[in-house]
Structure 1
Amino acid sequence: MTGSSVKDWNNLHYALAVAKAGTLSGAALELEVSHSTVLRRIDALEKALQTRLFIRHPRGYVPTEAGQMLMGAAENMQDQLDLLVGKMQGVEETLQGSLVITTVNTLIPLLMPMIRGFQRDNPQVRIELVADRRHLRLEHGEAHIGIRPGAKPTEPDYVVQPGISLNSALYASAEYLRECGPFNGLDALAGHRFIGPTEAYDFIPSLHWITRQVPDEQIVLRCNEFSGFEDAARCGVGIAALNQWCAEARSGLQRLIEPPPEWCTNLWLVTHRDMHRTRKVQLFLRWIKQELARLSPEIGKLV
């Protein structure tokens, strides 16, 4: 066999799932991916082999003669892989090695006590925490677990679980309020300065409101990092939209409005399908869910 799609063993894994399930939807359910992902993988494999592996019927997929030959070989490979995995499970049970977690910089103060608690119970696991606005590619092994705010990730091979919905509001320092006077509501913006993002954040409702509703001339400072909003507000630069837990964890900022329900930002726990069921990943996911559930309702609520 030649071609990059043939060398991608995942494509063969998908074909075997279709052969066993008899339908794309059945294979997609088994593999925890989308219907379109399964179809794309099968098409890529058939194109690379230059032969048809399945006969498409209205009620499902039936392997051709070539497909039956390939599925037989694939089943042998799967048996050998299952045997290897069984031998390796003893190594996995020791919970040794590193666990790479990626998130955004502003969430680190919230997550760090939870990570410390997990490490206290599992000292042999080395945590690597990567703070990056860029979504690391879990399918390329850049991280094991992503903790992401905003819109629900839609990558086809990702397992996405809800975490918590974080409350947000507007905040300013006492120094700023002495200088500019009280803030009287979202429809009374005149005379106030604001801190905004350098680019549109449609997936963060509070920042989307600032981008859409605050006149450009009243945005006196723009930042490309969430932590910069808080620092600027504490220094009296202007009013910032901040997560409630972040703004109120330390003194120096006053909440100007009650958190609007529509400003809640969802937090998602993201893993790749191939790593999702490993013991280290499952242990950490259970731990982080329990810790998020213990947070004060003022910070947020479970999604």
Structure 2
Amino acid sequence: MDNWDDLKFVLAVSKAGSLAKAARSLGVTHSTVSRRLSALEERMGTRLFDRLPEGFTATSAGQEAIAAARRVEAEVLALDTRILAQDAELEGPLRVTAAQLIFQAQLAEIIARFKELHPRIDVTMNAANEVLSLHRREADIAVRVTDKPDESLFGRLATGQNRCFYTSKDYLRQNQDALMESATMKPVKFVAFKWWGSTPPKTLRDRFPNAEVSTVSDDMIAMHAAVRAGMGIGRLPCFLGDADPALVRLPGMEPSRYFDIWILTHPDLKNVARIRSFLKFAADAFKANSSFYLGK
């Protein structure tokens, strides 16, 4: 193997299981991945992957190549991290990842103010619901909604959060008799969030035994839209529900605890000037606005 770059293609195919997915992860075309892999196999005189209907499966030779690719990748990432850790200037690239909703709520505003103070820092915002890896240097800083931040990362607790039950003003008006009662057998609609369970939570069933799910959402923005559209009661983070004038809290229900917001980075990068500066700036900004997230 005379081209180290070939290992990158082998590793991408191994992770993705198909040429198309590997191509997307590498930012190249499907035909490029196919051509590079076939050329490598021809030069080495052996197949690295079996092409099966369910996807690409590594042969014994392929497994050897994948193991080597992983070692090379780990060394390159470690070198990149060590070099960046020596950077003491408030300039250069800074990649921040967070869920789209967090950017909408406050993070974009925080980044805008940070850029005013440090115009030589080039901030890239990656609005990703999937968790990008800080260890693999897919981002420099991650703002995550979690109660269990990765212990191998370094960061700050930005703010706690609460959540509450909300409904649209129209839905409340149309179902006022049922929704204003402390307990009732009348049916009410509930918008469920897939990751919290696809049935009405116990606190809601205790008050509305005949509560039924009108729809299930796997995305918080979509769930907010469903509640706003009058599809029923939904449990939302306070910063999202309270900020929408079309929504009201369900009468008689108090906010309950929700996941915290953390700002995290790789521990080897915590002393990089631009990263350290942003960590403190963003954490202070979230903390100053904690009542917004706690629903106070």
Alignment TM class, shorter chain as reference: 0.5 to 0.7
Tell me the distance in 2 between the aligned counterparts of 1:102 and 1:226: 17
Structure 2 residue aligned with 1:129: 125
Answer yes or no: is 1:237 the counterpart of 2:231.
yes
Could you tell me which residue of structure 2 aligns to residue 277 of structure 1? Answer: 271
Cross-structure match for 1:254 = 248
In the other structure, the counterpart of 1:174 is 169
What does residue 139 of structure 2 align with? 143
Per-residue deviation at 1:184?
4.0
2:172 equivalent to 1:161: no
SS in 2 for 1:269: strand
Offset at 1:300? 2.4
**Cα distance in 1 between the residues matched to 2:84 and 2:98:** 30
- 2:186 and 2:210 in contact (8 A); partners too: no
- Kindly provide the amino acid, as one letter, of the partner of residue 147 in structure 2: A
Q: Do 1:105 and 1:226's aligned partners in 2 also have CA atoms closer than 8 Å?
A: no
TM-score, structure 1 as length reference = 0.60
Give CA-to-partner distance per residue, 1:264-288, whole Å, 9 cap, x none. 3211111111222211111101101
Deviations 1:153-173 (A, max 9, x none): 234x31142110112111111
RMSD: 3.2
Other-structure match for 1:289: 283
Partner of 1:20: none
Residue identity (%): 21
Residues 216 and 190 of structure 1: CA distance in aligned 2, closer, same or farther (over 3 Å): closer
Q: Is the 8 A contact 1:168 1:259 kept in 2?
A: no
Q: Deviation digits for residues 193-241 of structure 1, max 9, x if unmatched?
A: 111122447xxxxx99738865797111111111111111111111111
Instruction: Name the residue aligned to 1:226.
Output: 220
**In structure 2, distance between residues paired with 1:138 and 1:146:** 8
Q: In the alignment, what sits opposite 1:56?
A: none
Cα distance in 2, alignment partners of residues 85 and 144 from structure 1:
10
CA distance in 2, matches of 1:232, 1:283: 39
Give yes or no for the alignment of 1:210 onto 2:206. Answer: no
Structure 2 unmatched ranges of 5 or more: 1-81
Residue 135 of structure 2 aligns to a residue whose secondary structure is helix
SS in structure 2 at match of 1:140: coil
Q: For the residues of structure 1 that align with 2:272 and 2:182, how far apart are their CA atoms?
A: 47
Give the AA of the match of 2:135. Answer: E
**1:100, 1:130 within 8 Å by CA — same for their partners in 2?**
yes
CA separation of 1:190 and 1:236: change in aligned 2, threshold 3 A? same
Going from structure 1 to structure 2, the CA distance change for 1:194 and 1:99 (only over 3 Å counts) comes to same
Contact 2:169-2:247 at 8 Å conserved across structures? yes
- Give the whole-Å Cα distance in 2 for the aligned partners of 1:181 and 1:169: 18
Consecutive unaligned residues in structure 1, runs of 5 or more = 1-81, 202-206
Alpha carbons of structure 1 residues 189 and 252: separation in structure 2 relative to 1, 3 Å:
farther
- Residue 126 and residue 186 in structure 1: after superposition, are their counterparts in 2 closer, same or farther (change >3 A)? farther
Partners of 1:216 and 1:136 lie apart in 2 by 41
Structure 1 pair 240–217 and aligned structure 2 pair: CA distance change class (3 A): closer
Post-superposition shift, 1:180? Answer: 2.2
d(CA) in 2 for partners of 1:161, 1:189: 46
Deviation at 1:298, TM superposition (A): 4.8
Alignment coverage as a number of residue pairs: 210
Q: 1:26 maps to what in 2?
A: none
What does residue 4 of structure 1 align with?
none
| CA–CA separation in structure 1 for the residues paired with 2:226 and 2:130 | 23
Q: Which residue of 2 aligns with 1:14?
A: none
State the distance in 1 between where 2:142 and 2:210 align: 34
Aligned AA (1:210) = P
Per-residue deviation, 1:121: 1.0
Mapped partners of 2:97, 2:281: distance in 1: 16
